[in-house]
A = this chain, B = another copy of it.
Amino acid sequence: MASLSPLRREDARITRSRRALHAALLALIETRPLEAVTIRAITEAAGVGYATFYRHYPTKAELLNDVAADQIRELVGLSVPALGTAHNTREACRAILRYVDAQRPVWRALLTGGAARAIRAEIIAVSREVTAAVPHRDGWLPTDLSHRFVASAMVELLSWWLEADGRVDVEQGAELLDRLIIAPVVASGI
């Protein structure tokens, strides 16, 4: 009845500004590499005052992380179920590629525009959470290395796949992802 929650109730203007900045960054990153995207350009594209950027993010990388995290969370939400229930890695890989395929422009921008590092960091973070949630037997592959390996290799594979621009279909991509990266790692822990 009173206020819904101290966290939920946020000034509508804040939400609006944040959304505008997200969209602007994504739009700009499609036209030029990340380091050539000025903060001023972002704010202008977002229709927002220059200083307003800093009222929300301390740095360009921080905004990028936010944007990247959004994508990763959605991607994970789609692929983890397949993994969790039946250890069906191939199906999880398909889910991933399908999602990336659906968001082609965004992911191309993120991966080729200099945001690969941010994506990688997010994947590592997510991997860590997922790993922590499942029981885990020690194999020959150290856990922290496996996270970093998966993140780096997956980013590379996705970049390659996006650059292939349709010459490799989702099924083929999923097979490559599974055989080259996911399956070895999953197998290592059993």
Q: A: which residues have CB within 8 A of B?
A: 140-142, 144-145, 148-149, 151-153, 155-157, 159-160, 168, 175-176, 179-180, 184
Chain B residues, CB < 8 A from A142: 168, 176
Chain B residues, CB < 8 A from A176: 140-142, 145
Listed A/B pairs (6) with beta-carbon separation below 8 Å: A144-B160, A149-B156, A152-B153, A152-B155, A152-B156, A153-B156
Complex formed: what's the CA distance from A149 to B181 in Å? 10
Complex formed: what's the CA distance from A180 to B183 in Å? 11
B179 touches A160 (CB 8 A): no
Chain B residues, CB < 8 A from A179: 140
A180 touches B184 (CB 8 A): yes
Complex formed: what's the CA distance from A168 to B153 in Å? 21
Complex formed: what's the CA distance from A180 to B180 in Å? 9
Q: How far is the CB of A107 from chain B (nearest CB, A)?
A: 16
Cβ-closest 5 pairs across A and B: A152-B156, A152-B152, A145-B160, A153-B153, A148-B156
Chain B residues, CB < 8 A from A153: 149, 152-153, 156
Q: Point out which of A148, A151, A159, A180 has the most chain B C-beta atoms below 10 A from its C-beta.
A: A180
The contact of A175 among B140, B152, B157, B184, by CB within 8 Å, is B140
